[in-house]
Each structure stands twice: as structure tokens, then as C-alpha cells.
Amino acid sequence: MLVEQRTYTFQPGMVPRFLALYEEQGLALQSSILGSPLAYFTSEFGEQNQTVHLWAYESLEDRLERRSRLFADLQWRRFFDQVAPMIVRQESKLLLPARFAQVFGK
């Protein structure tokens, strides 16, 4: 199992707008393909205007296949086209749990 940590930095003031659009249009669609996120956060201290979310995958191949299906979905691409101009930077990290770690939901 692996966990992907995705961090998006938005233009100042855009996080509330993004979250409203995501909740209304993106969350159900994304979750139907990727599964529910393990966690979804906004930043309060440190670097601002960010969302950080965690997604679980069985393997790198599982991640590649599901993300490929997500971006092949016309509704997702329409949603993403709306929010992409709000994004300044995005970062993705693949995290491997330590043998003794208990991962959310597992």
C-alpha cells in the first residue's frame, strides 16, 4: 500500500471558491474513481492558500490506472478546467507506511 500526498497552492483568496466547487462538482466524481480521500485539509499556519489531501492506493500501478481513468472522464476534465486557473503550484509525494504504522481506514 502507498499513500499519495497532494498539495495544491492557490492564488490568494481562492481556496474557499475551490472548496465550494470541489464539494459541489468534483468530490463525488473523484471519489467514484479514486475512492474516498483518507484526509483533506486546508492550511492555517505556515504556507497559506493550500489544500493538502491524502489518497490510498494498493500499488503504483493502481495509482496510475485510477488517475488515468480520472483524467479520461469528460466531467472531471470540465471540472479541472474550471479550477486549474486558480492553482499556482501543485506537489505530489508518494508515502510508504512503515511496517508498524496503522494507516487510516485500514
Distances (CA, A) of 27 to 1, 5, 7, 33, 95: 22, 16, 16, 10, 22
pTM tops 0.85, yes or no:
yes
The parent domain of residue 77 ranges over 2-95
What pLDDT is stored for residue 14 in this prediction? Answer: 97
Is 102 within a domain? no
C-alpha dihedral sign at 25, 26, 28, 32: positive
Is 45 within a domain? yes
Low-confidence residues of the chain: pLDDT under 50: 106
| Residue 91 bridge partners (DSSP) | 7
Is 105 within a domain? no
CATH number of 42's domain: 3.30.70.100
Domain count, the chain: 1
> In angstroms, how far is CA 67 from the centroid of its own chain?
11
State pLDDT tens for residues 74-92.
999 999 999 999 999 999 9
Is 106 within a domain? no
Mean pLDDT of the chain: 94
